[in-house]
Amino acid sequence: MDKRKGRRQKTERFSVTSDHSLDALFERFYHAKVAEGRKDRTLDSYRENYGFFVKYLDLRGYGHDVRLVTTDLIRDYIVWMLNEKVRFDGHKFKSEAEQTVGLSATSVNTRLKTLRTFFRYLIEENLIDENPFDQVKRVEEDNNEIQIMTIDQLKKLLSAPNQRRYSGFRDYVLMNVLLDGFLRINEALSLKKTDIDFDLGMATIRAEESKNRKSRMAPLKRQTVKLIQELIKENTDFDSDYIFLANYGERLRDGQFRHRLKEYARQVGLPIRVHPHLFRHTAATMFLEAGGDLRHLQLILGHSDLRMVMRYTHLSKASLKNQHEQYSPLNEVVGKLNKERKILR
C-alpha cells in the first residue's frame, strides 16, 4: 500500500524564505542590531514598532512583501495613525476615556523611526533598490511648553504612598531618587546596591543603562541615601542585587511604577498628567530657579550637548517674571522702586 497517497508533496524548504519577505528581512536587520550591541530597550522598541506596522498591513489585507512598501503606503499608514488608530486599544490599564482616536505626532514619529532605520539598513546592505522613506517627512509636532510640578504638587504626590506598606515605601523612595538624582526612570530602576557610594552620597549610572551609553555619577542628598539604605534592609529577604523590587522580589518594571504613580496623582487630585520623567523636568527647572548653573546641571543630567540641557529646563513663568523684575534694563534707567505718580486733575 502506498502511504503517500492523498498527501501533499513537499518541494520547498521551510527554512528558506523569499528574498522579498518583510518578516525575514526584519529578522536579518534585528540580528545585525543585536550584533552592534544595541540596548535591550532599543531592540524591544524595534520589535514593537515593526509589529505595529505589520498589524496595519494585515488590517489592510496586504502581504508581508517588502515590494509592497511604497511611499504612498507609508503615507497612508501615517494618515491612519493620525486619524483612525485608537490610542491604547486593548490596554488593560487604560480606561475607555483614554482610548481616544488618533495618535499624537510624537507617537507617530516614534513608530516611524524604527521603520526608517530598518529601510536604511536594507539600502546599505543592498537588499532593496529604493528607500520608500526618502520622500516621507516627519510629522510636524507641536512645540508645547513642557509641564513641571509645583512644590505644592510635589508635596501632595510624595504624601500619597502608604509608607507602612512595602510597596508604598518603595514608591516613596523611588520618587525621592528620581527627584534628587535627576534620573530617568530606567536609570533608577537599574540601580544595584553596588552602584551606591554611601559615604560620598553618589549613585553610578552604568554605561549600559545610560541613554548615551556613557557612565556618570549622580549626587544624592544624605537623606535620600538613608532612604535607600532603609529600602535595602527591607529587601534582605529577596535574593536580588537591584534596589527597587516588586512585591515578589523581581525587578520593578517601568510600567508597574507608571500605573501606581498615576493612581497616586488621582488620589491627591493633581490636575496634571504625572509620569516618571516629570520628576526630571521638575528637578532641572527647580535647580536653575534656585541659582544652579547650566554647566553643573549638564553634568548631573548626563548630556554631552548643552543645547540638550536647555530642552529640559523650561523655567516657570513666575521665575521668568522674577528674573525680569530683577534684571530689567529699566532698573538702571528709572530705578527699581518708584513712588506712586501723583497727577493733578
Q: How far apart are CA 242 and CA 168, in angstroms?
A: 17
Q: What per-residue confidence (pLDDT) applies to 269?
A: 95
Residue type, 37: G
- Asked whether 181 and 297 are in contact (CB, 8 A), the reply is no
What the block records as the C-alpha cell of 193 is 546596591
Q: Is 335 in a helix, a strand, or coil?
A: coil
Q: How far apart are CA 259 and CA 157, in angstroms?
A: 14
Alpha-carbon radius of gyration of the chain: 26
Q: What per-residue confidence (pLDDT) applies to 8?
A: 46
Half-sphere CA count of 174, side-chain side, radius 13 A: 32
Q: Is 82 in a helix, a strand, or coil?
A: helix
- Asked whether 134 and 116 are in contact (CB, 8 A), the reply is no
Strand partners, 9: none
Q: Is 86 in a helix, a strand, or coil?
A: strand
Q: How far apart are CA 6 and CA 257, in angstroms?
A: 57
Q: What per-residue confidence (pLDDT) applies to 94?
A: 46
The string of DSSP letters for 204-258 reads EE-GGGSTTS--EEEE--HHHHHHHHHHHHHTTTS--SBSSB-TTSSBPPHHHHH
Query: DSSP label at 203?
Result: E
- Kindly report each contact of residues 165-171 with a partner whose C-beta sits within 8 Å and lies 24 or more positions away, as own/partner: 166/234, 166/247, 167/247, 167/260, 169/230, 169/231, 169/234, 170/231, 170/234, 170/244, 170/245, 170/252, 171/257, 171/260, 171/261, 171/264
Q: How far apart are CA 58 and CA 143, in angstroms?
A: 34
Q: What per-residue confidence (pLDDT) applies to 4?
A: 52
- Asked whether 207 and 213 are in contact (CB, 8 A), the reply is yes
- Asked whether 66 and 128 are in contact (CB, 8 A), the reply is yes
The values of phi and psi at residue 77, to 5°, are -65, -40
Q: What per-residue confidence (pLDDT) applies to 334?
A: 73
Q: What per-residue confidence (pLDDT) applies to 300?
A: 86
- Asked whether 288 and 297 are in contact (CB, 8 A), the reply is yes
The string of DSSP letters for 130-190 reads --TTTTPPPPP---PPPP---HHHHHHHHHSS-TTSHHHHHHHHHHHHHHHHT--HHHHHT
Q: What per-residue confidence (pLDDT) applies to 319?
A: 64
Give all domains of the chain, ordered by start, each with its CATH number: 22-124 (1.10.150), 151-324 (1.10.443.10)
What the block records as the C-alpha cell of 249 is 522580589
> Could you say which residues of the chain have pLDDT below 70?
1-18, 86-100, 142-146, 308, 311-320, 335-345
What the block records as the C-alpha cell of 207 is 554605561
